[in-house]
Structure 1
Amino acid sequence: MLDKIIKFSLNNRLIVLAFSAILLVVGTYTTLRLPIDVLPDLNRTRVTIFLESNGLAPEEIETQVVLPVETALNGAPGVEVVRSSSAIGLGLIYVEFSWDTDVFRARQLVAEKLQAVTLPNGITPIMGPISSVMGQFMYVGISADNTSAAALRTLADFTVRRRLLSIKGISQVIPIGGERLQYQVQVSSAKLKQFDIALDDVEKALSQTTRNTTGNFYYEYGTEVLIRNVGRAESLEDLANTAVVSRNGQPVLLKQVAEVKFGAAFKRGDGSINGKPAVILAIEKQPGTNTVGLTNEVEKACADLQLSLPKDVRLNPKIFQQKNFIENSINNVTEALRDGFVLVVIVLFVFLMNLRTTVITLTAIPLSLVMTALIFQLFNFSINTLTLGGLAIAIGELVDDAIVDVENVFRRLKENSVAANPKSTLRVVYEASSEVRNSIVYATIIVVLVFVPLFFMEGIEGRIFAPLGIAYITSITASLLVSLTVTPVLCSYLSPLAPNGGAEGQDTRLVRWLKLQDTKLLNWSLKSPKAIITAATLLIVISMGTIPFFGTEFLPPFNEGSFNINLIAPPGTSLEESNRLGTIAEKLMLQVPEVEYVSRRTGRAELDE
């Protein structure tokens, strides 16, 4: 079969070269469009349930709210783990499914189970958005010099947040900081007593005054008109003029028993930038979204929004970006690939001392890489540190198959040039490639088998390291295919035009010197087998003995270009005191010359976990 592949390639050389050129162009285009991320897809199917329970203590939330929901969800099909946490006024439940469970089916199963749960009045379970496991990939800060905290938060909630949510790939935008305005009715107990009104009467009147009702239709002359009772309050004055009850035929208005005004809602979290109050928007992305491309879209949207905001309001999308870490990581691995490629070029040329044979061998690298990119596109893999790491490991081996073939073809052509009855070039190339085909295939299979165990790893370990194995195996297999097709074709075109490699076809000086030294070393080794075996055994034992002293960790430390500093205060510390402590920490960090931005998120945002 392998001989047939080689023969077909040599009989259709132009077709093979044309197909290789097309493959190179399409593969390069595909490579530039592949999603870029720091790690492979680690999104295990998970549904988060928010249980807002204002006023309840953690013990009450655990027993009255969380426990009934957990009990119902434990019996759902495909559920593997149900975890929960309870805090003041909030219960969170995390439902994890198997890796292969469809996220929409999982959410449907959870929704069905939630319908059968009876919870205390006023508590409604809400499922969180479908978000990436990488969490909040970007922070956008909103600060101002003169604009009030309430106006700043209003801009964040109703202008900036809505614009960012419209970007494809954004799953959630969580604002924290500023003051959320609300209608506040501050009832006077003395005035209630004066008018003989109960607090329930005020609450009932407020619930009925903020809605519109219908009065059916009015028909006349073949037309119909909708009759409506427009009772929804649209201003503070409308709300203040709400009739609470009637006394002696006269309505008692809300403004007679209470003060109606705009006020800041009670908050459990706050934010600041560089030690000054601000609103911070934490942005989450959907699974499988390109982090770098999405970050660029958010930056573009912020630049457009900045033009319509008040002059003293500043949007800062560079407070925190995972994009910087991803680009640095990708650049580091890309530089390793580049350096490896350069070293391969140098070594090949030094050993072969022939430009044409070097070029033939090096064609295996770009063709193997673009074929790997096409496989990534087919199976929805991203370019990340693990896949690039697999390619970096394979970069030196991508030319192994080709160089074995090229060296043998080059040697046979030199022998053929001095033969009494020289054969045709195509015949020599075919026979030379057939001679080494078995060695090439066996070597490739053995190398591939080393990485096969990676595919049997389960859980998150398998999700992380399997792409590395896929990148390595795919590129090595692609190089094997190139050595059986493209390499013989290039040899048939370029090798006959090359010089004969020196007088009488001898090796280069460097290769002759290395062979001489290798011969001396082999002769000495064969004369002292016991010493060699003893030394090798001793080195193996010493190496095995050092293994228990190695440090272990799941992943190496990452330098993201930013620090995440957690300040932990004693339980019961108020938000005001936490803000004071956080501001002190911010000002201390700003004294470091290299620090560009300092942002702080204290407490919990309304939409956050």
Structure 2
Amino acid sequence: MVHRIIEWSLRNRFIVLLLSAGLFVWGYFSVKKNPIDAIPDLSENQVIVFTEWMGRAPQLIEDQVTYPLVTNLRGLPRIKYVRASSMFGMSFIYVIFEDNADIYWARERVLERLSTASRSLPQGVTPQLGPDGTGVGHVLWYTLDAPGMDLGEQRALQDWYVKFALQNVSGVSEIASFGGFQKQYQVTINPDKLLYYKLRISDVINAVKSNNNESGGRKFEMSDMGYIIKTDGYLRSTQEIENLAVANQNGIPVRVSDLASVQMTGESRLGIFDQNGEGERVGGIVVMRYGENAAAVIDKVKAKMKEVAKGLPPGVKFDIIYDRGELIKESINSVKRTLIEEMIVVSLVVLVFLFHWRSALSIIIQIPITLAASFILLNAFGISSNIMSLTGIALAIGVIVDNGIIMSENAYKHLAEKYEAWQKQSSAQS
């Protein structure tokens, strides 16, 4: 079979050259399409289910949230196993699917099961899916350089302007905010006053919840004029919360201000984000969507940042503190430089040792064609151009050249033997 292929190739050199050129062109465009990243994505094919039930102990979270969800999610198709962890106020469940399962198909299956599993959870507890990213999806970190702006205003600017703008970038799964203070109204209840008025904490909570609402009315006509009536009941200041009535005793309303103090403050924090020892900063983490091109996503985010920066307050600007794009460029350029150096050295070695330019050319021309063809396979198997894959290609150059040298040497040997036999036959005839 091999002899027939060699014989056919020798008789149809033009077709072989044309097929090689076509393979090289196909490989060239595959190089352009292949996603680029610095490190390979070795994370498992998983869907994260996050459930929040603040103020509850880990054991209660485990018994009433984690265990019911895990038992319901285990029956999903194409699932490998389910991991779970419970902590104070939060539950994390990691549903690991088979490697060849489509991630978005897996997320749909999990959502379908959660719609029925939620019935067994405590009232007000709603599980939600994590972002469709991977463990290496954090491609860009940034902070807001905002001198003179307090941390609460910076966090509000990040959450209500920057985050929404950057989330619209193609390939971005989530913008995770960090640092600063998340503003909230805090009601600090005095237990002695509760005992005096014979009330409970739940009475104060229900009073605030029921009064922080807005309901619609209806349209009515009067004197050939149409009027629309609605109620405006959302709380907008500490004074409005203080004036809310919790109960009525002897015709006198008991207000929130009689039982507690109300103030605008920040949510309790477990840590801070300090940058270079210069003080706290507010910023965000760009999480890349599953299977996207990291280099392309980073470029799109940076372009969007330039647009967003036009709407920031005077003096506020972005400060990029981690950019995988720079790491990608340096890594890829380093491997490319190594590949080029290898190709040049190998070509010189082949020319020097064979000392036959046609044989050397047949070996050297295999290198770019084989490299281009390897990217066709990389795209077919969904493998990105990263340090590991490109290093493997660099190591394979030696194997490519060895095969070419062996084939050339073998052909030269057989030709020499045929030439020697022909000379002997010619001498005998003469």
Q: Same fold (TM over 0.5)?
A: yes
Q: Deviations over 1:82-137 (max 9, x none)?
A: 32223222222222233233333433443444425523344322221221132533
Indicate conservation of the 8 Å contact 2:118/2:126, yes or no: no
Indicate conservation of the 8 Å contact 1:55/1:89, yes or no: yes
Structure 2 residue corresponding to 1:265, chosen from 264, 267, 275: 267
Structure 1 residue corresponding to 2:312, chosen from 309, 312, 325: 309
Matched to 2:45, the amino acid is T
The alpha carbon displacement at 1:154 in A equals 0.9
- Aligned counterpart, 1:170: 172
The alpha carbon displacement at 1:148 in A equals 0.2
> Quick one: percent identity of the two aligned structures?
32
- Aligned counterpart, 1:367: 369
Indicate conservation of the 8 Å contact 1:43/1:287, yes or no: no
- Aligned counterpart, 2:87: 87
Indicate conservation of the 8 Å contact 2:189/2:260, yes or no: yes
SS at match of 2:392: helix
Does residue 291 in structure 1 map to residue 294 in structure 2? yes
Q: Deviations over 1:308-335 (max 9, x none)?
A: 3234434222x22344444444344333
> Structure 1 residues 57, 246: closer, same or farther in 2, change over 3 A?
closer
Structure 2 residue corresponding to 1:118, chosen from 95, 115, 120: 120
- Aligned counterpart, 1:58: 58
Residues 373-388 of structure 1: pairs in structure 2 closer than 5 A: 373-388=375-390
Indicate conservation of the 8 Å contact 2:173/2:289, yes or no: yes
Q: Deviations over 1:259-284 (max 9, x none)?
A: 55432112223211112111242332
SS at match of 2:398: coil
Indicate conservation of the 8 Å contact 2:61/2:86, yes or no: yes
The alpha carbon displacement at 1:150 in A equals 0.4
The alpha carbon displacement at 1:222 in A equals 12
| Alignment partners' CA distance in 2, 1:189 and 1:411 | 100
TM-score by length of 1: 0.59
> Structure 1 residues 25, 108: closer, same or farther in 2, change over 3 A?
closer
Indicate conservation of the 8 Å contact 2:9/2:16, yes or no: yes
- Cα RMSD for the two superposed structures: 3.9
The alpha carbon displacement at 1:34 in A equals 0.9
Does residue 34 in structure 1 map to residue 34 in structure 2? yes
Residues 412-423 of structure 1: pairs in structure 2 closer than 5 A: none
Residues 550-589 of structure 1: pairs in structure 2 closer than 5 A: none
Indicate conservation of the 8 Å contact 1:165/1:171, yes or no: yes
The alpha carbon displacement at 1:304 in A equals 3.2
Indicate conservation of the 8 Å contact 2:52/2:90, yes or no: yes
| Alignment partners' CA distance in 2, 1:336 and 1:323 | 20
Indicate conservation of the 8 Å contact 2:84/2:94, yes or no: yes
SS at match of 1:215: strand
Matched to 1:144, the amino acid is A
| Alignment partners' CA distance in 1, 2:35 and 2:243 | 57
The alpha carbon displacement at 1:345 in A equals 0.8
Residues 269-280 of structure 1: pairs in structure 2 closer than 5 A: 269-275=271-277, 276-280=279-283
Structure number with higher relative contact order (C-alpha < 8 Å, ≥ 6 residues apart): 2
> Structure 1 residues 420, 130: closer, same or farther in 2, change over 3 A?
closer
The alpha carbon displacement at 1:149 in A equals 0.7
Indicate conservation of the 8 Å contact 2:51/2:128, yes or no: yes
Residues 190-269 of structure 1: pairs in structure 2 closer than 5 A: 200-216=202-218, 218=220, 228-234=230-236, 242=244, 260-269=262-271
Indicate conservation of the 8 Å contact 2:145/2:318, yes or no: yes
In structure 2, runs of 5+ residues without a counterpart are 424-430
SS at match of 1:262: strand
| Alignment partners' CA distance in 2, 1:299 and 1:250 | 60
> Structure 1 residues 191, 40: closer, same or farther in 2, change over 3 A?
closer
TM-score by length of 2: 0.81
